[in-house]
Structure 1
């Protein structure tokens, strides 16, 4: 190995470990459900994005196996050559109905969506107003576009209005976009979409909502935009198919012209092999299930509220979450790591999240209850939280 690379790696790894910022990766044996097996230990799982339990759903497994039998294990090509299967067309038509838009396009991941769509629509002659707590994939997509990036204070509508006015009236940019998460994944708060739309109309901003943590969760399952009834007002709706939907991939939904353009201009669509047949068919089945019934959605919210109330009554700082995402904010990074390890030792898997994912001094364990958890599981988790919280003086 290069000596300079070796020194670089050792120095940075040691620094991360010394400051409680090094992330230990745990290996799950078997399926990622409400209870998981990590290194031979059965743990109540509160760290999965599998909000509705669909990642282990029997019906989805059946249709995925059937698609493998009929279409093979891989799509065989990029979408623009001969990798567009009838299954992909069916999925995208289903997604458009689900999101209330004219059309939709599927990508290989939610991260790919933001890399693709932002770069395709925006360029160095434009400006992007971006909420300061937006997901890393949004930040990377903005950087790739080469547009001027203007950071907006988190969910601060006065700051958005001020910076939108400055950007538009400066005459420096051909287009100005405002981009925000629908649900912010670290704190569980929801974007102020009605106010955002009002400001966007005033200054003719392009609006982009990353609803990775809202799809399947907000709007009776159809997402944050649908929750506010703004399907006709948001230009680009992006979402993931790997969280509440339970499989893998992502999508962008909007007008037919937007989707037609992305299919000829979005680089991950043009240069990366399409979603596999099994995944594609399972996603379509999952979305159809959500359109047919709100049972899983309702159970998720019931469990989320139950856990949130329990943690709050114990004295934990759960921030200002408006969704089932429930952080327990510890603060100090090393204490946060210790807290997470002790939870695991006692039977709860709740992963620590520290800088750079969240700001320094705001370390937390983030709880993600799902529709698959039982009240007995949640009660046991709360009991363990109380024990460890008192032991480490996180609660009194």
Structure 2
């Protein structure tokens, strides 16, 4: 049987390659950092979610090492059987303190958190209204629910109002959005979303994976930035980006919501607990966030410098202020051009990744540059020089 299937899959894979959409994985031979080595070259890393530079920070690594000795390697169980350690409950409290919520529940990843929240809270008599650019994990999580589904144009409050009106009469309604849209680096207008949600009696859920730890005065994310922490009902997020960059996700919310998720959320009930070393390292990272004002300031300066230099050099950037800075390669051949530029840059010591369909819309290929507090000004200049060099080489 597999003979014919193999041929069909091989044809599909070749079509992906021919379209310039094949995603090669480049193997790192070093720890994750602003400076990495690959099997091909040493390189400046401008494509990681390592916003605060904590992925290889000595204090985070030391906490994880100590946890291995004190708490073991893994839990070999789910939370409600025998998979809960003091580390897990301490980490949940730390997240709640940062976000200003009543309670937090850990998941294996934010993908699992988003996959486990909607089915529990929203049934056939309810409505979920989702931004069209929300992360794939939200889309998949919503699909698991029997709730009525509505979608509004990205950050379009007129369309959101129309969808809220269409959902009138449902038992529960929730507006769901990314805090920061990961492919564009743009912010959801949470103050306006909360205003509309209040008007229609809807809840608000925000996936703040690309904001917690470095956005907002205290690193509390987009609800803190917009002054709506007390108006956002549910925050989902990850430990795999600014908060040490390992693994694990969470839902942070009202006590009753978290309690019900512990009883009924399938990814939580049927997945092993977050490893003790990851929990301990994440606690150390959260402790550092509380005093990371200087790092957040460096991150903002690096972001501003990169955007300014790239604009002066004549590259097309999506507007914004987030460390996610998409360098655009529009048109039918954009995917091939972006991939060629990324390859040229790696050969010259700068590691970036090209994004194309289906990760982004057709004709909107890009190289998503991500700045870190661990980058120096010289690193930022080197990245821009590599873009200019790739363009000059005709790639």
Q: Same fold (TM over 0.5)?
A: yes
Q: Paired residue for 2:285?
A: 286
- How many Å apart are 1:378 and its aligned residue? 1.2
8 Å Cα contact 1:219/1:227 also seen in 2? yes
Q: Paired residue for 2:192?
A: 195
Q: Distance in 1 between matches of 2:130 and 2:258?
A: 22
Q: Which runs of 5+ in 1 are unaligned?
A: none
| Counterparts of residues 1-12 of structure 1 (less than 5 Å) | 2-12=2-12
Q: 1:40 to 1:344 in 2, by over 3 A?
A: closer
Deviations 1:132-159 (A, max 9, x none): 1111111111111132221210100000
Q: Paired residue for 1:310?
A: 309
Q: Paired residue for 1:79?
A: 79
Q: Distance in 2 between matches of 1:40 and 1:188?
A: 29
Q: Which runs of 5+ in 2 are unaligned?
A: none
Q: Distance in 1 between matches of 2:210 and 2:138?
A: 14
Q: Paired residue for 1:389?
A: 391
Q: Distance in 1 between matches of 2:306 and 2:120?
A: 41
- How many Å apart are 1:309 and its aligned residue? 1.1
Q: Paired residue for 1:15?
A: 15
8 Å Cα contact 1:190/1:322 also seen in 2? no
- How many Å apart are 1:252 and its aligned residue? 1.1
- How many Å apart are 1:7 and its aligned residue? 2.6
Q: Paired residue for 1:341?
A: 343
Q: Paired residue for 2:232?
A: 234
Which deviates the most, 80-89 or 173-182? Answer: 173-182
| Counterparts of residues 35-50 of structure 1 (less than 5 Å) | 35-50=35-50
Q: Distance in 2 between matches of 1:194 and 1:26?
A: 40
Q: Paired residue for 2:145?
A: 145
- How many Å apart are 1:66 and its aligned residue? 0.8
| Secondary structure in structure 2 of the residue aligned to 1:282 | helix
- How many Å apart are 1:123 and its aligned residue? 2.4
Q: Distance in 2 between matches of 1:264 and 1:346?
A: 52
| Counterparts of residues 119-268 of structure 1 (less than 5 Å) | 119-168=119-168, 171=169, 173-220=170-217, 221-246=219-244, 247-268=246-267
8 Å Cα contact 2:172/2:202 also seen in 1? yes
Deviations 1:244-277 (A, max 9, x none): 0122211111111111111111111101110011
| Secondary structure in structure 2 of the residue aligned to 1:25 | coil
Q: Distance in 1 between matches of 2:237 and 2:370?
A: 18
TM-score normalized by the length of structure 2: 0.96
Which deviates the most, 119-128 or 45-54? Answer: 119-128
| Secondary structure in structure 2 of the residue aligned to 1:88 | helix
8 Å Cα contact 1:354/1:364 also seen in 2? yes
Q: Distance in 2 between matches of 1:359 and 1:176?
A: 28
- How many Å apart are 1:41 and its aligned residue? 0.5
Q: Distance in 1 between matches of 2:118 and 2:280?
A: 27
Q: 1:297 to 1:20 in 2, by over 3 A?
A: same
- How many Å apart are 1:353 and its aligned residue? 0.4
Deviations 1:27-83 (A, max 9, x none): 010111111111140111100011111110101111111111111000231001110
- How many Å apart are 1:190 and its aligned residue? 0.3
- How many Å apart are 1:222 and its aligned residue? 1.2
TM-score normalized by the length of structure 1: 0.96
8 Å Cα contact 2:341/2:387 also seen in 1? no
- How many Å apart are 1:364 and its aligned residue? 0.4
Q: Distance in 1 between matches of 2:51 and 2:24?
A: 23
Q: Paired residue for 2:362?
A: 360
Q: Paired residue for 1:378?
A: 380
